[in-house]
Amino acid sequence: MTTLQQLLGIELPVIQAPMAGVQDSALAIAVCNAGALGSLPCAMLGPDAMRNELTAIRAQTTKPFNVNFFCHTPPQPDAAREAGWRAALAGYYAEFGIEPPPLTGGAARLPFDAKTADVLSEFKPPVVSFHFGLPSAELLARVRSWGAKVLASATTVEEALWLERRGVDAVIAQGLEAGGHRGIFLGEDLSTQVGTFALLPLVAAAVEVPVIAAGGIADAAGVAAAMQLGAAGVQVGTAYLLCPEATTSPVHRAALASEASRVTALTNVFTGRPARSIVNRMVREQGPISAAAPRFPMAVAALAPLRAKGESQGSGDFSPLWAGQNTSGCREVPAAVITRELAGAIANSR
């Protein structure tokens, strides 16, 4: 067994990436029961929804699982920027006959805080992972108080060392290929972001803790290659997006299954923070990086009615179509099948 399997109490060195907005407990449970680490993303869940999902996990698996949170600092309200963003989108509101939404739209993604820690302490999840850095030392101590192992994403060697100094049990090295939000948190310069097979050996050489490779890994050969380059395990997101247990929307599923999925970009137009999405009309016309987009997560609200309208007409033109660069692993098969296949090379070599 590798140190990661011992550390997390799992059979296979595979973590199903937490993916806010496209999954709930069902995907996590299926992966846990297949012997890997299933993850519940909580960035978009309020306390009641989180309680329901955690109750479902506890009821349907006895295996270890991961609960994931964002750690961003919510921005100060910026009315001028919000107005500028609505002005940039004005043509679309007119095209669809939609009233621009009010400037008071609440944050759709909340950072880990004391209230969340209260809910979590009722369930004492064995693994907790963070994106965009870590919560305060006090909150981290609360998570550790019930013995949870702590994982966090790093997109540079500097971030990996920062996380290690703060006591994480393993670092997730997130390469540039990865779908969804970049975990970058020690700066905003996207030229610091490198591919998985460049980042992984550098991070593995720099830190003592186990390193989990994320980004562009979609099959057993990719897993074996990551292990060869120093990974103790992998975190895979995109390959699970078409699984029946995922809640991926119909327009998102259609885009993933089409040739459009070959072209992805890092874009801030959906949330205000760089994230990898399939290129659609919104990315093409307003991005991929827009100076007008409000800071994370405030860009979401202005787009919400356009997204809803588009999706009601079967169009993903205004929807975040999160996907990594490597969509070759996306198949409409149960998550247990994807999990076992990812781990195949490892299992066979034992």
Q: Summarize as ranges the residues that interact with ligand FMN (CB under 6 A).
A: 17-20, 22, 41, 43, 68, 131, 153, 174, 177-181, 214-217, 235-238, 322-324, 326
Query: Is the CB of 18 or the CB of 100 nearer to ligand FMN?
Result: 18
State whether residue 290 is helix, strand or coil.
coil
Contact present, 64 and 8 (Cβ < 8 Å): yes
User: What is the smallest separation between the CB atom of 87 and ligand FMN, expressed in angstroms?
Assistant: 29
User: What is the smallest separation between the CB atom of 37 and ligand FMN, expressed in angstroms?
Assistant: 12
Residue number of the CB closest to ligand FMN reads 237
- Cα separation of 26 and 245, whole Å? 6
Contact present, 238 and 330 (Cβ < 8 Å): yes
User: The tokens of 110 are what?
Assistant: 């909340």
Query: Is the CB of 63 or the CB of 181 nearer to ligand FMN?
Result: 181
Query: Is the CB of 207 or the CB of 226 nearer to ligand FMN?
Result: 226
Peptide bond before 288: cis, by omega within 30 degrees of 0?
Answer: yes
Angle at 41 between CA 53 and CA 131, to 5 degrees: 150
Query: Is the CB of 4 or the CB of 217 nearer to ligand FMN?
Result: 217
User: What is the smallest separation between the CB atom of 237 and ligand FMN, expressed in angstroms?
Assistant: 2
Query: Is the CB of 92 or the CB of 229 nearer to ligand FMN?
Result: 229
Query: Is the CB of 83 or the CB of 198 nearer to ligand FMN?
Result: 198
User: What is the smallest separation between the CB atom of 251 and ligand FMN, expressed in angstroms?
Assistant: 13
User: What is the smallest separation between the CB atom of 308 and ligand FMN, expressed in angstroms?
Assistant: 19
Contact present, 4 and 233 (Cβ < 8 Å): yes
Percent helix / strand / coil, the chain, rounded to 5: 40, 15, 45
- Cα separation of 284 and 267, whole Å? 10
Give me the residue label for tokens 């880990």: 112
User: The tokens of 173 are what?
Assistant: 């090295």
Contact present, 216 and 222 (Cβ < 8 Å): yes
Give me the residue label for tokens 């909580």: 42
Count Cβ neighbours within 10 Å for each residue of 49-59 and write b for 16 or more, e otherwise.
ebeebbebbee
User: What is the smallest separation between the CB atom of 112 and ligand FMN, expressed in angstroms?
Assistant: 12
Query: Is the CB of 177 or the CB of 317 nearer to ligand FMN?
Result: 177
Query: Is the CB of 82 or the CB of 342 nearer to ligand FMN?
Result: 342
User: What is the smallest separation between the CB atom of 151 and ligand FMN, expressed in angstroms?
Assistant: 9
User: What is the smallest separation between the CB atom of 23 and ligand FMN, expressed in angstroms?
Assistant: 8
- Cα separation of 81 and 86, whole Å? 9
